[in-house]
Amino acid sequence: MHCIACRSLLCASLGKKATFNLGTVRVRSTKCLSDLQVKSSYKVNEKSPLTNRRKVCQRVLEHFDTQYAEELGSLWTSVRSVLLNPDCWQHGVMLNRFTDLGDLRMRLKELGYTSLLPPNDHERPSTHTLPQSDHKRPSTHTLPQGDHDCPSTHTLLPQVSAGSLECVVQRAPVRLPAPRHERGRLKPYFLLNAASLLPVLALAVTEGDRVMDMCSAPGGKALAILQTTCPGLLHCNEVDKHRCDWLSKTLESYVPAPLMETLQLTNQDGRDFGHTHQGMYDKVLVDTPCSNDRSWLFTPSVQKGELWLKERQKLPQLQVQLLCSALAAVRPGGVVVYSTCTLSRAENHAVVEAVLATCPGVEPEDLQEELANQLSEHFTFAPPLWPPGLLVVPERLGHTWGPMYLSRLRRRS
């Protein structure tokens, strides 16, 4: 068998079944997924060749040790060991319902993948091959004011529901290859940190909702929204021009041309939408720029690490402004979900508390029963210092998802 790489077995010929005790298994081609069954008996190896390719920035690590030991207490020890060992990180696979998935589900099941989400009360709709040629780039025109009808599901899209999102996960650190672009075909799956789906689930988009993804690049959460249901409008915004182009390409690679008509793509400062689009949306997702703990630990130089740590001090002010803008852009009765991929209390709880203190008519909603209790099999949630917010921490093997913080706010008036 070929197309399988495992740290110390790069050139080995493997049989139908293989068990690896160390490292990350990388499957180079989905064509041979059915040839491998992986058991979840992985151990952390601090001298892993893959880990050694990424050098830890000691300055950033020292900063994290000081801050997170205080904020997380004894939990920081286990979180730290996971963050420092990329070989043990898990990788979720979000399936694209707009493509013909063929036997991909079966192959993933043979690899040991299971569904992240609880089963629905009804059967998942079957997927169909959709028109995929002549993809249009998302519009950058002024956001229209009128109603946006969802494309007819019997002609353009399979019947969908709020439960149509499919993500499969593996307790072992198996990583599939990122799907390549093929002209005329949509990509079949999207790789992601499964915790990044929690803000989308908290947003609870229903068919016909007018939705904004305020800081949308690289596009994983926007894709997850479209996998969940068919919104009346999905406005994806990204302030950085390079990342906006990246977002556009992501959407084109996964979304069929007919559905692109319901998308709007803009390259604006999210802080302006509270004034220019006041009360226009049913739901807004603010996955704000933050100090990404996973990537910052592996900053390429001490100088870059020092620069990032200085910039980190300015982030909470920006995050407060973005969240206030989102709350102004949502209609009375609508909801805003705020999220980050950092453990930092200053960028999480403190931001939400600051906004609640200055924005009357806004109430936080407790997500413990709705999300944390139902998904505790897969995620480790830090003990709540402030109940309305959830913090997913990468705490042990099999639970390496996160960091991911989320909080849902409802605008009452």
How confident is residue 121, by pLDDT bands cut at 50, 70 and 90?
very low
- The pTM score is 0.82
Spatial CB neighbours of 31, under 8 Å, sequence gap ≥ 6: 3
Residue 341 annotated to the active site: yes
Cβ-contact 198, 165 below 8 angstroms: no
Looking at per-residue confidence, does 290 or 143 come out higher?
Answer: 290
Q: What is the pLDDT of residue 413?
A: 86
Asked whether residue 74 carries a pLDDT value surpassing 90, the answer given is yes
Give the tens place of pLDDT for each residue, 323-363.
999 999 999 999 999 999 999 999 999 999 999 999 999 99
Give the tens place of pLDDT for each residue, 255-269.
999 999 999 999 999
Q: What is the mean pLDDT of residues 294-322?
A: 94
Cβ-contact 212, 273 below 8 angstroms: yes
Asked whether residue 53 carries a pLDDT value surpassing 60, the answer given is yes
Asked whether residue 2 carries a pLDDT value surpassing 70, the answer given is no
Give the tens place of pLDDT for each residue, 88-114.
999 999 999 999 998 999 999 999 999
Asked whether residue 146 carries a pLDDT value surpassing 70, the answer given is no
Spatial CB neighbours of 224, under 8 Å, sequence gap ≥ 6: 94, 165, 196, 197, 200
**Chain-centroid distance, C-alpha 313:** 24
Give the tens place of pLDDT for each residue, 223-254.
999 999 999 999 999 999 999 999 999 999 99
Look-up of token digits 């904004």: 212
Looking at per-residue confidence, does 106 or 148 come out higher?
Answer: 106
Q: What is the pLDDT of residue 102?
A: 83
User: What ranges in 217-359 are assigned the alpha helix state H?
Assistant: 220-228, 241-254, 257-260, 273-276, 293-296, 302-312, 315-329, 349-358
- Say how far apart CA 146 and CA 131 lie, in whole Å: 26
Q: What is the mean pLDDT of residues 167-192?
A: 93
Asked whether residue 35 carries a pLDDT value surpassing 60, the answer given is no
Spatial CB neighbours of 161, under 8 Å, sequence gap ≥ 6: 120, 122, 125, 229
Q: What is the pLDDT of residue 6?
A: 35
Asked whether residue 396 carries a pLDDT value surpassing 60, the answer given is yes
Looking at per-residue confidence, does 147 or 70 come out higher?
Answer: 70
- Say how far apart CA 293 and CA 305 lie, in whole Å: 12
Q: What is the pLDDT of residue 120?
A: 62
Asked whether residue 152 carries a pLDDT value surpassing 60, the answer given is no
Asked whether residue 169 carries a pLDDT value surpassing 50, the answer given is yes
Q: What is the mean pLDDT of residues 187-192?
A: 98
Asked whether residue 142 carries a pLDDT value surpassing 90, the answer given is no
Looking at per-residue confidence, does 13 or 270 come out higher?
Answer: 270
Q: What is the pLDDT of residue 181?
A: 86
SS3 category, 378: coil
Share the mean pLDDT of the chain.
82
- Report the chain's terminal Cα–Cα distance, integer Å: 62
Looking at per-residue confidence, does 188 or 139 come out higher?
Answer: 188
Q: What is the pLDDT of residue 47?
A: 42
Instruction: Tell me the longest C-alpha to C-alpha distance in the chain.
Output: 64
Asked whether residue 1 carries a pLDDT value surpassing 70, the answer given is no
Q: What is the pLDDT of residue 138?
A: 42
Cis-peptide into 383, omega within 30 deg: no
Q: What is the mean pLDDT of residues 23-27?
A: 53
Q: Are strands 330-340 and 281-287 parallel, antiparallel or unpaired?
A: parallel
Asked whether residue 70 carries a pLDDT value surpassing 50, the answer given is yes
Give the DSSP per-residue string, 117-178: SPPPSSPPPPP-----SSPPPPB-SPPP-S--PPPPTTTTS----TT---EEE-SS-EEPPP
Catalytic residue among 230, 236, 341, 359: 341
Q: What is the pLDDT of residue 163?
A: 62
